[in-house]
């Protein structure tokens, strides 16, 4: 039996221009039950995992707002662990400590170190799950041209395992699990690459998935089947929605390098409930597999004010959090 | 012109574990206008049709709760009239009086007798419609393997007519009509089997249909066309919804023997408004054919608490009960 | 950046059986911000454009109800400018002044004259846009049988230009633009006929489009692409919805000469939000092109009381008028 | 049991620039079994029905080429019987004898007279079926704007019956049946207008249908269901194909007044087998209803040389003329 | 690497009204490489497995016609192993020896005994695969009404395992594998019931699958994914095709008890290549999993003469037996 | 009027492991009219453009086989002009002369130089068109994560123009046009990126497109509309086909890093005519825009022997090369 009502949290990654205090105030005001705090900017600093006062202060902040903590995330530094090339886009994401002199391999190693600290910080904060990205050295070969050899692809999965196993060792020590977000640019970005990734890491329990359907929709991956196919690896749930805009023969799946919000893109992120994710089927599947963690709103919509959207998305998703059945309906047919 | 606003009723079949008093209390509290009472368990006993005190007490109960009565139903005993085989599943449904020693033909005949009493009870209760199932001796041959002869199929329709004509004679005497629910397991389960069933019974007016779209959706039968095609036989309306879950290549239309609520089924029943029935088109078609009976909610959803769902479904369906137009909109264009 | 919140207006054409005072009272009561007044019946009389008292009285009426005016419309007389044949259907639409003795060419010329007066009236009322129809001498040839020559089609576009250029000259003088509603029966009724029409009129800025998606849907024209393809010609927006009812193999796209509201039609007009127009995609596209005019509700639904529908449609469409984003969501990812 | 192999004929309407002798030579050379001769130009002259030498000569011509005759057609004059307006397009179609002074009512009456002669000619030629169009006085109102009253539509069907009943009286006298081609511009152009047309004519057996699926496809009418729904009225079969080209959001169902062959049209005629007609399902349905008349190829494709297409279409359609089953396949399972 | 060219065989089940000699003559004449002989009627008698002369004679017959043998089948007796009820339909299928006095349990046990003999006969004939059905005691509960308990469903899978394990023990002894045809009426009829069936039998290698896509198509099961999902259990391939006929809102997935060939059925069997099976994708998937057995044509089409269809289907399927690639195409891009 | 019959050529890129002599022999034997020779390996060497003997020898080789030359191509070196990063995949493609020491900017410049020589070689060979790729410095940012700025995207288009304008200057001097193949990994890979690319290059006539539909299909770009939208830039036609394999919820559009031919990919290249390209609509559109160049077969299919596929594809495509119409079919209706 799954928990009911479920806790709803707001992911702070897209609010890093505000202080955690400000985000917490907004989220609490909108009725969120908690936050999924990004290890990013002022929100959380993984390198201070052993600063007890810091940790206590972060927890106190949440408590002041009546918010709970179920998971923290560190997408941006996870991204840099395996990526190749490492370029100016990463510099903007990883912060000066990890960037250092910008030497790619150094960046990767410092990013890996931060991921280990993130596990330690999670343990200190009392949470069991870290959400994030893995990066990938083979993502640039997705178009298969210029031709790429099977060996090169294999090497990419090996590189991933080689870089992440030591990180996951620390996760295991801390009793924390990593929930990878299946996403283009990452080692696992669709169904079969997820199968392959789990094989590469030997199905170790410390490595699971953050189910976020937004990138599945435009790749024609069924987010409902994804839940049941990877039932034992769904460690966290992020709700982001995608609206398909193909169908006029001109808007393409790859987006034409157009910015978010441009109506000529083949798809776009929208506030949860305004896109094509079959949310109710997904929520029913989450109940069926017994998922009992938080439902976290990762809010992105280039056409809507986030102050309008974040509470709207919460209200929309709460409608799917109806109480489960307590008995079989056809049991009532039985006569004595 | 159809009635407006329409009366909404709750079908009590899935609530037979509660007393009628309890169900009436709940339904009235949620704003239902009446009940479609199942002749089942404590709710209604067809064999007491000539017990005037009993009948008066049942009506008084409804009146206490401010509820109206437009139809009663007897699916479970109707099922046993034609079924072959009669097995333990029927024993659970028909009650000990009809089951008796369990000899199949005896069960069928006692079930038929109860259906006659049900018509008499309806008359006493002042309602014009009895909803129910017919059963079918040829349903087990639906897969067409082992091969079944055309003669055997014909015999099934004849058997149906032979068993139901005497029942309908009593209906005619009582001024009550039978509304068969088109449903797998029954003599009429889709469009063409309904055409054939009406022929078998000589289109006698005492035999009509209970329109319930939930089983049409997964068979690819259009519930809107069904209304206009059988306009003169739509005697009652039951609202149950179905959500399709095929589309991943693995979930099948026949359900894999999986229980209700399992996400691997190809379809499932859901609370009205959460599935794939095109409800608004259906309601507009019901208005177009002049249907002026009740809208009854048959609530089944293996993933939702019925106490949550029954009022939600009512609210959803009432949105479709908007007032009809009073004039043609383009009449206003006319200039003098 | 587009205006927010947008003003919502009610088109008075389908309410011409009421006085403008009555319509204004209703619209204001429902929360509309203004009216799109039809030059029709008692609502507005184009021939009184130079009657200052009349104009002032009309404006005062609106002001009394707190309503704004962004556009006026004159579909019915616009229709008669090019139509051939002119028959009894037009007599009902154009009023006795334009109909006169009913001689077709005379009707066309008086209709054209009224369109010129409509521009003058718009100027007096302080509005920049007149919405309307053009009529078409070649619409009856849409089925291409009996065969029609390419020359005859060309002649139809030339006839349109010849008749409308003098009208548009007056529009230019008045600083008013004409917004043609793309619609069957008109010179421009789909994408390519709109392209051809704009060529015929030399893309003069005085001639633009009233975007109304209701007739695009059933012709398989994408109303979203239409907005971006004709971005610089979207001068006004009318919201009418269409529900498709094809799919049973019998209901046809051409409607079988059946009246509005008949469930056997292949499509029908319905209250905005109850049909198949992808409204949210459309509104996002309108924002993307910077449309900053009013959103006008043209309410038609043969199955719903207009007193119920007009406020419902307003509420539905206002949900799409959410505040736009103020910054890029991924800007927040940046670390210092 | 239907005939096998079926006879295949070529409709001569689109070959009227050649003499019948030339067409017969071509068709026989390509392997056609017969012709469906158009009463048009040099091919056949209905006014010579009582000229025995003429009739004998036409039959001898066919015999010389080894061709059979199952039906003749007269679309062009049938068109003029009900049409309103009668304009220059008709003048090109009907020939000078019917056109006369061009007074519309005179044209209609002479066209009706020619249709009577066509029945007489059919009798003389020994054929039982005349294929053709009816025309329609209400077709121009298909777009429902300017608004058209229900009475006006009714009057259109009455006008049709009034004009065609006297023609059909002659058909009855001659023992010949009229097969109306369901087609835009005609009184019956889709499913429900066909239902209404048959009612208007009192279902008299002399009036049936020429099944041509090409115009059904783009109207979303299922040509297979059409066969079974009007099983007793399918008097003749014409095979013309249509290729849908909608789906890019810009090509519309109404064709934008673009000429045949333009890739921007929403659909176009193509050589049979190159379009979207589900031919095999149709042929199987024709077998199921026992249709035993000819299969006639009406060849139109603006992108292909007719000398290439006419034999190709024949070859394509003959592939569907496979021999029917002689026994039930599951009978073989039976063991003794 | 899969075999190329593949051997094509004809399944003799639907030809049991002819002698094996006659069928062999026909098949060889049409170019088939071998037969999949049904243990049925005169074709093969499992009870004579230890009659060496009989076995030699059957093999000699094949050799005379130049035909090979890869598999034999026994659907009809397999069906009776688990079925409940056993009724007159089975009497027609199993023959008098298995039917005996018709006592259901006796029929089941004699059917099981014949299946054991079938394995022995296969061994004698030198083939490794027996194709067939399993029957099912729970198939009649597919509609889930009257309600059926989860325990009853479980009991059905247990019953299957209990009855088939002793049969499969003999298969193991003989070095022969059973290939169950996934099919309605059987224990495994779709994806998830196949998963459950393989679990019930403990994934013992003696029990695999006969891939026949015809019943997958109408259940919305993807036959291509089925191949890759059950790659290690695809022991045999039967090619039968199904044409979908739903889409008009009236033809249903369950077939309305209508006979094969009726155009009102929602689907029907057709000669391979004339239906909706994505054959080429399937053949490519078979190559991808390394399937190297025969391709057997199970020919059923109620609308076509089998003498026409059997060679046509062979020709169609051979087109898919193109030679595989010998190198990667992009290897050629490499420059030195 | 377009040429008929059209010349069909074979692109030699995927045959570079054979000598040009060998490829010419095969192509001529299969009935090809000419070759589209890749500047690759032994086939053609752009650096020998001014070696008259070499050029004469190549032409003589073609003449010996009766083959014509309409275009040459240089995809591999074009790829390196803009790409970033330049890595080992490029080393395999560009050959040692262009690779040199592998310094990326040096590689890019030598690749650009080879493209200039390719224009010169084309001139010497008497052909007007060079087909190829452009490469792109912004392709790796297609997933939009890590976030990429609008300025970075703009810079990518500028970089393209800066690098290609000098190349195109040489093309202009030589009277040769470059036909860019719209393809992932390139500066233009879908509709809107093609629009943007043409803007970047100022619509100079020397830069056009090689229409190859294979990558449009899986991106949801309509290849038919692409032809009419870019009618004046379709300089060459390459026919490669793609088969979609999504639809089971697991196979993704991005291919999961799986090799060509794996049935779990969401799409794959197949021999022309075996995929989802709407070839006939495309050919009709090419006729409509007056394309009069060659039809070149770019053959790729990981599941078929190329020796089987290359002639099969030719035969398939020639079926679409039917003779065009010589007159309007409805002209024949005209009576005198």
In this predicted structure, the answer to whether residue D2 has a pLDDT above a threshold of 60 is no
Considering only CB atoms, which chain B residues are within 8 Å of D147?
A: 330-331, 333
Burial C205-235 (b: 16+ CB within 10 A, else e): ebbbbbbbbbbbbbbbbbbbbbbbbbeebbb
Q: Which of A41, A269, A305 sits opposite C326 (nearest CB)?
A: A305
Q: Rounded to 5 degrees, what angle do the CA atoms F156, C330, A56 make?
A: 145
Residue among A79, A299, A303, A306 with most chain C CBs within 10 A, to mutate:
A303
Q: What is the pLDDT of residue A174?
A: 98
Beta strand F267-270 with F241-244 is antiparallel
Q: What is the pLDDT of residue B2?
A: 55
Q: How far apart are the CA of F38 and the nearest CA of chain E, in angstroms?
A: 10
Q: Which of C94, C96, C305 sits opposite B325 (nearest CB)?
A: C305
Considering only CB atoms, which chain C residues are within 8 Å of E250?
A: 248-249
Q: What is the pLDDT of residue A78?
A: 98
Q: What is the pLDDT of residue F1?
A: 47
Question: D248 touching A, CB under 8 A?
Answer: yes
Mean pLDDT over each residue of chain A, to the nearest integer: 96
Q: Decide if A302 and C322 are in contact by the 8 Å CB cutoff.
A: no
Q: How far apart are the CA of D87 and the nearest CA of chain E, in angstroms?
A: 39
Neighbours of chain A (3+ CB pairs under 8 A): B, C, D, E, F
Which residue on chain B is closest to D147 by alpha carbon?
A: B330
In this predicted structure, the answer to whether residue A247 has a pLDDT above a threshold of 90 is yes
Q: Rounded to 5 degrees, what angle do the CA atoms E315, E320, E326 make?
A: 135
Residue C25, token pair as written in the block? 């009272």
Gap between the Cα atoms of A52 and F41, Å rounded: 66
Q: How far apart are the CA of B38 and the nearest CA of chain A, in angstroms?
A: 10
The pLDDT tens digits for B175-221 are 999 999 999 999 999 999 999 999 999 999 999 999 999 999 999 99
Q: What is the pLDDT of residue B221?
A: 98
Gap between the Cα atoms of B299 and B11, Å rounded: 8
Q: What is the pLDDT of residue C336?
A: 64
Instruction: Determine contact, residues F280/F304, Cβ cutoff 8 Å.
Output: no
Dihedral sign, Cα of residue B305, residue B311, residue B317, residue B319 = negative
What does the pLDDT average to over D233-245?
Answer: 98
Q: What is the pLDDT of residue A4?
A: 82
The pLDDT tens digits for A87-115 are 999 998 999 999 999 999 999 999 999 99
Q: How far is CA A325 from CA A322, B38, B278, F33, in A?
A: 9, 22, 25, 70
Gap between the Cα atoms of C138 and C135, Å rounded: 9
Q: What percent of chain A has pLDDT over 70?
A: 99
In this predicted structure, the answer to whether residue D1 has a pLDDT above a threshold of 50 is no
What does the pLDDT average to over C166-191?
Answer: 98
Instruction: Extract the residue ranges of chain E whose pLDDT is less than 70.
Output: 1-3, 336
The owner of tokens 């009709």 is F284
Residue B152, token pair as written in the block? 């055997």
ipTM attached to this prediction:
0.95
The pLDDT tens digits for C299-321 are 999 999 999 999 999 999 999 99
Gap between the Cα atoms of C46 and E81, Å rounded: 87
In this predicted structure, the answer to whether residue D99 has a pLDDT above a threshold of 60 is yes
Q: Which of A14, A96, A274 sits opposite C329 (nearest CB)?
A: A14
The pLDDT tens digits for A11-36 are 999 999 999 999 999 999 999 999 99
What does the pLDDT average to over C40-69?
Answer: 98
What does the pLDDT average to over D295-306?
Answer: 97
Q: What is the pLDDT of residue B1?
A: 47
In this predicted structure, the answer to whether residue D180 has a pLDDT above a threshold of 80 is yes
Instruction: Determine contact, residues D267/C267, Cβ cutoff 8 Å.
Output: no
Beta strand D177-181 with E129-132 is unpaired
Is the omega angle on the peptide bond into residue A85 within 30 degrees of 0, that is, cis? yes
Gap between the Cα atoms of D221 and D267, Å rounded: 14
Q: What is the pLDDT of residue F160?
A: 98
Which residue on chain D is closest to E267 by alpha carbon?
A: D281
Question: C321 touching A, CB under 8 A?
Answer: no
Gap between the Cα atoms of F164 and F79, Å rounded: 12
Residue among D85, D143, D146, D156 with most chain C CBs within 10 A, to mutate:
D146
Grade residue C1 by pLDDT with cuts at 50, 70 and 90: very low
Mean pLDDT over each residue of chain D, to the nearest integer: 96
Structural domains for chain E? 8-325 (3.20.20.150)
Which residue on chain D is closest to E305 by alpha carbon?
A: D325
Residues near A251 by beta carbon (within 8 Å), at least 6 away in sequence: A245, A264, A265, A266, F191, F192, F220
Dihedral sign, Cα of residue B198, residue B201, residue B207, residue B210 = negative
What does the pLDDT average to over D45-65?
Answer: 98
Q: Phi and psi of A100, rounded to 5°?
A: 55, -125
Q: What is the pLDDT of residue A1?
A: 46
Gap between the Cα atoms of B99 and C248, Å rounded: 43
Instruction: Extract the residue ranges of chain B whose pLDDT is less than 50.
Output: 1
Gap between the Cα atoms of D282 and D288, Å rounded: 10
The pLDDT tens digits for D182-232 are 999 999 999 999 999 999 999 999 999 999 999 999 999 999 999 999 999
Q: How far apart are the CA of A334 and the nearest CA of chain F, in angstroms?
A: 39
Q: What is the pLDDT of residue E326?
A: 85
Instruction: Extract the residue ranges of chain F whose pLDDT is less than 70.
Output: 1-3, 336
Which residue on chain F is closest to E220 by alpha carbon?
A: F248
Q: Phi and psi of B296, rounded to 5°?
A: -110, 135
Gap between the Cα atoms of F32 and F125, Å rounded: 19
Please give the model's pTM, rounded to 2 decimal places. 0.96
Burial class (CB in 10 A: 0-12, 13-18, 19+), E105: exposed
Say what the alpha-carbon torsion angle F186, F187, F191, F194 is, to the nearest 10 degrees.
-130
Q: What is the pLDDT of residue F331?
A: 78
Beta strand A267-270 with A241-244 is antiparallel
Residue C170, token pair as written in the block? 């007056």
What does the pLDDT average to over C34-48?
Answer: 97
Nearest one of E239, E233, E262 to E32, comparing CA atoms: E239
């Amino acid at each position: 039996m799954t928990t009911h009502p479920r806790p709803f949290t707001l992911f702070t990654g897209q609010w890093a221009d505000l202080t955690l205090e400000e985000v917490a105030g907004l989220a609490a005001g909108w009725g969120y039950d908690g936050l999924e705090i990004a290890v990013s900017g002022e929100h959380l600093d993984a390198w201070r995992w052993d600063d007890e006062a810091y940790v206590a202060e972060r927890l106190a902040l949440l408590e002041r707002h009546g918010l709970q903590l179920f998971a923290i995330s560190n997408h941006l530094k996870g991204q840099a662990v395996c990526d190749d090339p490492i370029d100016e886009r990463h510099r903007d994401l990883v912060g000066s400590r990890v960037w250092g002199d910008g030497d790619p391999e150094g960046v990767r190693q410092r990013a890996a170190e931060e991921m280990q600290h993130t596990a330690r910080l999670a343990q200190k904060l009392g949470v069991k799950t870290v959400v994030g990205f893995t990066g990938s050295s083979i993502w640039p070969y997705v178009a298969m041209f210029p031709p790429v050899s099977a060996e090169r692809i294999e090497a990419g999965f090996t590189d991933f395992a080689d870089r992440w196993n030591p990180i996951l060792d620390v996760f295991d020590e801390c009793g924390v699990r990593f929930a990878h977000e299946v996403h283009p640019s990452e080692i696992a970005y669709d169904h079969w690459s997820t199968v392959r990734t789990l094989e590469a890491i030997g199905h170790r329990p410390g490595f699971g998935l953050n189910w976020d359907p937004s990138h599945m929709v435009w790749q024609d991956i069924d987010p409902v089947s994804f839940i049941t196919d990877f039932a034992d690896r769904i460690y966290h749930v992020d709700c982001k929605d995608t609206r398909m805009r193909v169908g006029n023969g001109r808007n393409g799946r790859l987006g034409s390098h157009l910015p978010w919000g441009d109506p000529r893109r083949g798809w776009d992120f929208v506030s949860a409930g305004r896109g094509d994710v079959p949310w109710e089927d997904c929520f029913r599947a989450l109940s069926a597999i017994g998922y009992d963690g938080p439902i976290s709103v990762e809010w992105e919509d280039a056409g809507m004010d986030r102050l309008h959207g974040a509470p709207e998305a919460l209200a929309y998703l709460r409608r799917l959090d109806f109480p489960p059945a307590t008995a079989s309906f056809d049991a009532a047919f039985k006569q004595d």
